[in-house]
Structure 1
Amino acid sequence: MSKKHSNMKTKCIRCFIAISLFFVFGCSNTKYLPKGDLLYTGGSVTIKDTIITKKEKKELEANLTALLRPLPNKQFLGLRPKLWFYNIAGEPKKQKGIRYWLRTKVGEPPVLFSKVDLDYNASVLRNFTENKGYFKTRVSSDSTVSNKRVTAEYTVEPKRQYKIKSVTFPDDSLAMSRIIGRSSRRSLLKVGRPYDLDVIKAERERIDARLKEKGYYYFNPDYILAQVDSTKGDYEVKIRLVIKADTPPKALTSYKINKIVVYPNFTLSKDSVKYRKEDIVQYKDFTIIDTANTFNPRVFDRAIYFKQGDLYNRKDHNLTLNRFVNLGTFSFVKNEFKLSDSLPNTLDTYYYLTLLPKKFIRVEVLGKTNSASYTGSEINVNWNNRNLFGGAELLTVSVFGGADFQLSGANSGKNIYKLGTETSLTWPRFVTPFRIEGSSEYVPRTKATLRYEYQNRTQLYALNSFQTSFGYLWKENIRKEHQLNVIDVTYVSPNHVTAEYLADIKEDESLAKVIEKQLIFGPTYNFTYTNTMQKRKKNTFYFSGDLDLAGNITGLATGANVKKNDTIKIFDVPFSQYVKMRGDFRHYLKLTKNSELASRIILGIGIPYGNSGALPTSKQFVVGGTNSIRAFRARSIGPGSYLNTKTDNSFLPDQSGDLKLEFSTEYRAKLFSIVRGAVFVDAGNIWLMNADPNKPGGEITKDFMKDIAVGAGAGLRFDLSFFVLRTDLAFPLRKPYLPQGDRWVIDDINFGSGPWRKENLILNIAIGYPF
């Protein structure tokens, strides 16, 4: 058969399939309709006879179309499969079984034309356009019937849009009127802009928020009246804002704070709080009624922003509530303001706090796999005390253990076991010689940590790792977060190094760095910024930056900064000196409601100096793996164009470097139900700052871009609400360790070849998105 006839046959088959699908999903849906009714397939809106621009017309038509109700049955490629499943399931006899599941969970009932109210939709469209300043709009409706299907058509004829000619604010003798007048420069109502009812409502809320900051607790936006005059001028309106005459007197009054009462042991199941006289504690401006003497009164002094005699304002009101919630010791926080009986124009403030259990145990069990063909599990047992010293301190004691196995592959039998413990104590404040106050709604924290871990790589070596840190965590707002560890010490010591591994070191000297004793100490700092929680924004960002300064002060004290020959040791261990910086920038572009383009770039550099000729192995950069360049196995790339060919042993060492450049971009889209799909491209590599004779090609040069590794792939993500299960299948496009001119391997891609798949296809299974 000729190629031409083959193509014609393929086209005929595709056409037959398309016609069959249309018949199955389309025509069959109408035969199940109730007698005399029609299937409603949607509505459209056309703007007619208007002088507005094409862009404004298109936007207005889209906004109006979105208002039409009911919505038609959901479509996929012009078909209605959910309606088809509903119809073929029929009426189930029982509320269980496959038929019931198909009809109620998979399918959806037909949207009938008898349920469509054309006049109601027309009135909705008219109200919307007039609220946007198109006064005296005419709306007409019609319908078109074809093959038991019907569409609704609405024609909207708006007049010229009215603009704001002037805005006048309350000018009476009330004190609040003067406050409103002084804030007029922040008004949302601007002369020359279109009349918009939604903007007027937003302006009333802005004024209310301003008054709430000035003590007007009982005021609300409904007490502001917007008088609109459209009788004069050429398609213009005058807007006058006034305080309603029937506004209650207490809403016209500003209030100060009088009594502040806290109930730290409030129980939701009880209608009232019972306490004894000896349970009452007076501390500064607060009255604390703690029936169990649970907390040090200073906890409330730090959490409550109000002081007796302060003017009420909503900012301090919300800050206090958020601080109580962020302490992490209360399951329920309730606040109440009451008019004071003792002083006029004052409010008594009451805080009702319900405690979480003070002590609890959490057990975490997880399974994991990585692209280095290791499969394993881990268990963490955490014991917590939420209020150790009565100041809402959190003590956490953890014991953990895990194992990773490679059942086949280069490292078969060389399993990894780890066991350890960690203790941390977190104070809900800055622990410093002097008191530091913040105005953030987030509670600043001080955290001290002590950790020990024993890791054993069978047949190779074991490592003992000790770490301790002391530092501060604080958030400026929901977008900006800081973490500063003023003390951060790590000590690593090898144990049980086998003869096999020592023999490997003779063949590849770089393996010796893994079992070197390490002493690392110095301050570390991290800054994070994100606005990804703003779901309506088209562009959102995430940035995380790290700064690690090791041994800088000690280097000055010991002279290690200037000594060139001798390595200075502390407790017979050389201490590390370096400066390390890392930046992780991510951008998310929202394409549609259910799709986005996510991109990430990571830059990292570590500069050893003084007492160190290279960064400690544990602090070097790596690439490859489930959250990195997914087409290559974990930690297998680089540095540079280096490829370990020295040894024939079965142990494959991790590759690491002093510099890192990594880029990823990923298109994500919802496919159906809980299933999301993605296609992605990853690129990057690591390099050494200084040439290493044991790793030729590993150092950074001006031609570093020639060493970039590139991979691509696709994956499925299953969003189960409480976690996301991710499966990514990736393959390399460029291998930096091949000779120049042969590094691009796109032409070698052959999914039908078993040897190619075995060597190049990498399956990544992970929890959560890669970034």
Structure 2
Amino acid sequence: MIKHLRYLIILSLFISACSTTKYVPEGEKLYTGSSVKVIDSAIKKSDAKAISSELNATVRPQPNSSILGLRVKLWFYFKTRARKGFIQKFFSKFGEPPVYISQVDLEKNSSIMQNRLQNESYFQSTVRGDTIGKKKTAKAEFTVNAGPSYTIRNVEFPMAKDNSLDTAVLGTMKETLLKKGEKYNLDIIKSERIRIDARLKEEGFFFFAPEQLIIKVDSTIIDHQVDLTVSIKPTTPERAREIYTIRDIYVYPNYSLRDTSLKLDQASGYRWYKLVDPRKTVRPFIFANTVLLHPNDTYSRTTHNNSLNRFINLGPYQYVKNRFEDVTPDSPKLDVYYFLTPYKKKSLQLELLGRTTSASYTGSQINLNWKNRNAFKAGELLTVTLFASTDVQVGGNNGGFNVYQYGIQPSISWPRIISPFNFKSDNAYIPRTTLTLNYTSVVRSKLYSLNSFSGSFGYSFKGSVHKLNELNLLEITYVKPRNVSQLYLDSINNPNNRNPALKHVIDPQFTWGPSYAYTYDNTTEDYRTNSIFYRGKLSLSNNLYGIISGADTLGGNPKKFLGSTFNQYLKLETEMRFFHKLGLGSKFAARLFAGIGQPYGNSTILPYNQQFFIGGPNSLRGFRARSVGPGSVDASALNGGFIADQSGDIKLEANLEYRAKLFSIVYGALFADAGNVWNAKPHQAGGTFGTNFLKQMAVDAGFGLRFDATVLVLRTDVGFPLLTPYINSSGGRSVPLSFNNAILNIAIGYPF
């Protein structure tokens, strides 16, 4: 009791010390906020609450900020204003000057509220403001008599005439935002004008503007209704009434601000556009997928904007400037000019990176990137990357088995589909063809070293801003061990603790085949309350060749290609992420991942580089990275000098996380994870997927902090294992909730 009393006294002294009202000068009162009261009994309670909340947000100025009733920033201001030197300079930036009730203009705020109500159908509304004061503080109170709301009875559009503009406006009526029976709203009327203008821009009315539309309101109708009439202002200029078509299109692929002449005498025609490129910096066909407008086409804003976006996506160009010129001799015509400012063609970039990996490794990487934009004068991006890295596992049972990698990766990307088939795309995104090659040497000290060769050829194309399609016609991977230590061989051959995962790591891997991935992502749109990310991928390896050759490992008939045994499988991955905003700075996040690989024919298990792993800072955070599974296998019981990465052909994982802003750049999180991996075919006792898979799910929960500096997110998570997929030392699957069992994860970026 005495101990609690001591804490209460300390808290009381702290609150007293943080009091700010004692600094308020005579004749002033500290402004503590406002309230809005709707007194009209005819207004529904839900509407009155919405009106009160909306109007209260318009009151200016806002009161001093507070935390749990303590005006900390104001306290800093008062405490540092009379000080000089370092202390004042340091703490003054945390201060906030006082807001007094005398600064609140009741009449002006009331007028703003009344205007807002009238714009939202309450034409007869009145607002009155007053102050309620105490000894040193005061608040503003506004009383609202909203009156009846006015609803829309009829909406009239101009009649169809010989005049093409009236007819075009009438043609937009079906999609009108002005609905009969809904409340009058000025913002919706403004949006309606913008909507009509956008539609007219698609039909060639290049010089039309929203301001040339007028929507008349007749509020003399009985029963608090209004009639709306959409019409074109009589003062609308003649050229705003004309439908414009395209005459000539000029592209300047090497433009700079020093260029002051159009140089039309140097233009050379290619198909439907003309190039002004005296220095021959590009081949003419480079813009065939970019210039979407054609001569004699009716002007369309969407087509024009898509062209601009494609010029930027083309790759070689840093800036795009566009101009339309009215060249009307006998009929409305436009000439189009595209002025393109290129990047420097070649660049060399050195990158030094700190990183964490999914296996709890931390380390550094150096990349030397050489780029050639417009390598062959048709928008190609040629890239050559040299890289080297070193990774050390923190907190794992690695015993000094660090990982070193080095290699080279050349790639070339074409801004078009290279295919014998005709591929037509006219949206805002350029399809691309990409060829990538890669060589990587992987050295795990004291254990083994591998050579890895890979390559891919395929396409990527966006259906919209949210949808991405990636089709690789061919993906090839060849991995072969270069050196294996005796320590590692002894671990594999240990008769007392056999772990098939150890041998599988160094098995030769030879895969080739196509893959297709589809991604939908609207999470970049911050205004959404709910957003989702979805990615699905299908990968195949040697399916057709394996069938033709009659490959059958189980039947004792494995086949080879170019002297190497190849892998044969079908693999499907799908991932869904869901985000729900709960309030300012807080959200709920969920992820579900399911993947299955089916080896057959020439394979009984997926190649190691195609298998699934689980556990670690981006997965099950209550378990060591890649230490879970397959199935009910206990990796810690397989003592081969270290815990090998556990893998499987099948994976199920679910994650839930609550994220909330604490202060400044610091965010907190509560999370729970569940999942496991399994083999598709029997290789280890308890490791095969079966009907009891739910009983083999590992489960954890925990909390963490995120330091989100926008360009970099540093994350710390503490995960507690709750259920193991195997019978643990306690004789069951449950794990006591204790910090002795906790796993600390330090990583960069959010887990999903």
TM-score bracket, normalised by the shorter chain, equals over 0.9
SS across alignment from 2:289: helix
Out of 12, 31, 42, the position equivalent to 1:19 is 12
Match of 1:140 in 2: 128
Residues 1:392 and 1:642: Cα distance change in structure 2 (over 3 Å): same
Moved more, 378-387 or 172-181: 172-181
1: CA distance between counterparts of 2:358 and 2:334?
A: 62
For the pair 1:33 / 2:24, whether they are aligned, the reply is yes
Name 1:199's counterpart in structure 2: 188
Q: How far apart are residue 750 of structure 1 and its match?
A: 3.2
Report 1:568-587 matches (<5 A).
Answer: 568-587=559-578
Equivalent pair of 1:87/1:103 in contact (CA under 8 Å): no
Q: TM-score, normalised by structure 2?
A: 0.96
Match of 2:100 in 1: 112
Q: Is the 8 A contact 1:504 1:647 kept in 2?
A: no
Q: How does 1:168-317 map to 2 (within 5 A)?
A: 168-171=156-159, 173=161, 174-268=163-257, 270=258, 272-273=260-261, 275=263, 277=265, 279-317=266-304
Q: Deviations over 1:320-344 (max 9, x none)?
A: 1110111122111111111115553
The residue aligned with 2:712 is 723
Contact 1:371 1:632 in 2 (8 A): no
Deviations 1:212-233 (A, max 9, x none): 0011111111111111001122
| Distance in 1 separating the partners of 2:139 and 2:264 | 72
- Structure 1 residues 276 and 133: alpha-carbon distance in aligned structure 2, compared to 1, 3 A threshold: closer
How far the C-alpha of 1:495 sits from its partner, in A, is 1.2
- Determine if contact 2:289/2:430 at 8 Å carries over to the other structure: no
- The amino acid that maps onto 2:298 is L
What is the CA RMSD across the aligned residues, in angstroms?
2.0
Distance 1:264 1:454 in 2: 42
Q: Return the match for 1:673 from 642, 664, 672.
A: 664
Pick closer, same or farther for the CA change 1:531–1:374 going to 2, 3 Å.
closer
- The residue matched to 1:195 in structure 2 has which SS? coil
User: Does structure 1 residue 763 correspond to structure 2 residue 744?
Assistant: yes
CA contact (8 A) 1:265 1:291 kept: no
Residue number in structure 2 paired with 1:457: 444
Whole-Å separation in 2 of the counterparts to 1:622 and 1:379: 26
SS at 1:309's partner residue?
A: coil
Cα pair 1:40 1:112 within 8 Å, conserved = yes
Deviation at 1:409, TM superposition (A): 5.9
Shift of 1:132: 0.8
What secondary structure is seen at the aligned counterpart in 2 of 1:328? coil
Distance in 1, Cα, partners of 2:623 & 2:220: 72
Q: Using the alignment, how far apart are the partners of 1:536 and 1:646 within structure 2? A: 50
Structure 2: segments with no counterpart, 5+ residues: none
The answer for unaligned runs of 5 or more in structure 1 is: none
* Letter in structure 2 aligned against 1:265: N
Q: TM-score, normalised by structure 1?
A: 0.93
2:41 is matched with 50
Would you say the 8 A contact 1:371–1:763 is kept in 2?
no
Tell me what 1:566 maps to: 557
Correspondence for 1:125 = 113
**Aligned-pair CA distance for 1:208:** 0.4
Contact 2:401 2:446 in 1 (8 A): yes
**1:638–1:686 CA contact under 8 A, matched in 2:** yes
SS in 2 for 1:76: coil
Provide closer, same or farther for how the CA distance between residues 172 and 440 of structure 1 changes in structure 2, counting only shifts above 3 A. closer
Deviations 1:352-397 (A, max 9, x none): 1111111112222122346866432111111001101111110110
Does the residue aligned with 2:633 lie in a helix, a strand or coil? coil
Post-superposition shift, 1:744? Answer: 4.9
Q: How does 1:649-664 map to 2 (within 5 A)?
A: 649-664=640-655
Displacement of 1:644 in angstroms is 3.3
CA distances 1:72-112 after superposition (whole Å, capped 9, x unpaired): 11121122111111221215656xx44223212x2221122
Match 2:389 to one of 402, 413, 416: 402
Give 1:43 deviation, angstroms.
0.9
Matched, 1:322 2:309: yes
Correspondence 1:533 to 2:536: no
AA aligned to 1:185 is K
Superposed, 1:460-479 pairs within 5 Å as 460-479=447-466
What amino acid is the match of 2:190?
K
Greater Cα offset, 281-290 or 351-360: 281-290
Deviations 1:131-160 (A, max 9, x none): 110111011111111132111000111111
Mapped partners of 1:484, 1:587: distance in 2: 25
Alpha carbons 2:628, 2:635 under 8 Å: kept:
no
For 2:76, the equivalent position in structure 1 comes to 85
- Aligned amino acid, residue 163 of structure 1: T
Letter in 1 for 2:749: G
Distance 1:740 1:193 in 2: 67
| Residue 447 in structure 1 maps to residue 434 in structure 2 | yes
Residues 16-56 of structure 1: CA distance to partner in whole angstroms, max 9, x if unpaired?
A: 3443343222x3x2233344222111111111123232222
Matching of residues 345-356 of structure 1 within 5 Å: 345-356=332-343
SS in structure 1 opposite 2:746? strand
Decide whether the 8 Å contact of 2:360 with 2:616 is kept in 1.
Answer: no
Question: What per-residue deviation string (whole Å, max 9, x for no partner) do you get for residues 426-477 of structure 1?
Answer: 0001011133120220111000011000001111111100001100001001
Q: Distance in 2 between matches of 1:718 and 1:64?
A: 35
Q: Higher mean Cα deviation, 50-59 or 187-196?
A: 50-59
Aligned residue for 1:649, secondary structure, equals coil
Letter of the 1:521 counterpart: W
Q: Check the 8 A contact 1:406/1:412 in 2, yes or no.
A: no
Distance 1:153 1:460, change over 3 A: same
Residue from 535, 540, 548 that aligns with 2:539: 548
- 1:713 deviates by 1.8
SS at match of 2:416: coil
Q: How many Å separate the matches in 2 of 1:645 and 1:309?
A: 73
Q: 1:245, CA displacement in angstroms?
A: 1.1
Distance 1:767 1:342 in 2: 62
Distance in 1, Cα, partners of 2:259 & 2:146: 57
CA contact (8 A) 2:629 2:676 kept: yes
Identity of aligned residues (%): 43
The residue aligned with 2:688 is: 699
For 1:720, give the aligned amino acid.
Answer: A
Which of these residues, 705, 714, 718, is aligned with residue 703 of structure 2?
A: 714
Equivalent residue in structure 1 for 2:149, among 161, 164, 167: 161
Out of 65, 71, 75, which is 1:74 matched to?
A: 65
Aligned length: 747
Cα distance in 1 between the residues matched to 2:727 and 2:685: 13
Post-superposition CA distance 1:247-304 (Å, at most 9, x none): 1111111111112111112213x36247595x43221222211243111111222101
SS of corresponding position for 2:52: helix
Which residue does 2:372 correspond to in 1? 385
Output the amino acid matched with 1:365: L
Offset at residue 534 of structure 1 (A): 2.3
- Moved segments of 4+, more than 6 Å: none
Whole-angstrom distance in 2 between the partners of 1:680 and 1:647? 30
Q: 2:469 — aligned with what? A: 482
State the distance in 1 between where 2:722 and 2:630 align: 18
Aligned counterparts of 1:562 and 1:455: Cα–Cα separation in 2: 28
- Do 1:370 and 1:765's aligned partners in 2 also have CA atoms closer than 8 Å? no
